[in-house]
Each structure stands twice: as C-alpha cells, then as structure tokens.
Chains A and B, each alone.
Chain A
Amino acid sequence: DTGVSQDPRHKITKRGQNVTFRCDPISEHNRLYWYRQTLGQGPEFLTYFQNEAQLEKSRLLSDRFSAERPKGSFSTLEIQRTEQGDSAMYLCASSFPSVQTAGGYTFGSGTRLTVV
C-alpha cells in the first residue's frame, strides 16, 4: 500500500461546471476524511466516513457538494455548479477509528481545483 491516493492532482474548470474527485485510502483504514485548504490557511474539515457511512458534514459543505463512499473503500467528492470561491486544495485523509491513533491521519497529496 503506497498511502492515500487522490485523482486528479489538478483540475481547471469553468464556473458552473460539475467536477468529481476521487480518493483511495489506505486499505486498512476504515475512516476517510475530506478537508479543504485555501491559500495561506490550514485545512478545514468537510466530512468524514466510517466505512460506507457518512457520519458528519461541516456547514462548509453546501448543497452543491456531495461525498460518497459506496463500498467503504474509495470515496468521491462532487461539486456541482462550481463557483470561483470553490477554488482550493481538496485533501483526503484516512485513519483507524481509535482515539489513541487520532493523530494517525495519513493525507493524500490533494486535488488542486481552479475555477475560472
């Protein structure tokens, strides 16, 4: 296992288009997280899954955003009707559920979205 994989690495899209990102977590990890990071800021929590169940969504995740993890393995994050304010790095991370390993997130390299 080579870590958390995200695809694509970069995406440029026109305002109003839909985009979808994919994340493949570490196979032993049953928790998967999505974060968003804008320039000069730390990552902000969007949502997380335990196996296939989406257990929490941030208020940052508007109705235009939807995330899925259909078989408890890979996850997709879709943004509909993109806006310029959606331009950011979208980071995926995975971990074990134990609080004692809470620091044990492994992040992917992210998908950088630019909305023009």
Chain B
Amino acid sequence: QVQLVQSGAEVKEPGASVKVSCKASGYTFTSWYIHWVRQAPGRGLEWMGIINPSGGSASYAQKFQGRVTMTRDTSTSTVYMELSSLRSEDTALYYCAREGGGGSGSSNWFDPWGQGTLVTVSS
C-alpha cells in the first residue's frame, strides 16, 4: 500500500535549521508530486510547498520563500524539507503528503499523508 514514513521529532534552538525526511513506498516514487503542510499546536493546516520527485523542481508558498528548501533522493525514494532561521512560531507538526489523483502534478489534494514530524523551536 502507498505509505509515507517521516523522520522523528526534533528540538532546535532559534536561528537553527531543521531537515525532515519523508520516505515513500508502495508506488512509483517519481510519478507523484509531494507536498509539505504544517500544523501549529491546536491550530489549522498551512501549505508550505510542493516538489516534483522526478526532476527535483520545487515551488514554495511565498511565506516560506528564502527559508525552505525541498529536495529528493530518488535512490531511496525520500523527499526532504529543510527550514532555516527557525523561530518559536515554527513549532509545529510537519506533514508530507502525496498528491491525489493520477499523479504528475495533475491534482492539488493530498492522499495519503505521512504521520507527521513534530519540530519544537525553543531555547
């Protein structure tokens, strides 16, 4: 079955960077785009950006431009999301999610989701 498994929780100091991984299995990795969405404690969902695992191109929400980088490793079917210059407001659960539908960037809904990675920013 299609599955996304994310890396474990992280605790970072303000100003540091964090890199979260998302390992895909159960489908052709390069055929479906991957999105990143975050959720602050007790809050709603916020889209961060999207990566095409085939060519590696990525697009980011303007809010995160300059601070976020999404990459992939096709040899391990893993995508990464790195967020820099962390501040307390970045404390959140970070989810990767595969695009739904037929793949190749044709859909902008998410199915399935990874289990989430909690990133805590605290001094």
Bound pair: A and B? Answer: no
Chain B residues with a Cβ under 8 A of chain A: none
Chain A residues with a Cβ under 8 A of chain B: none
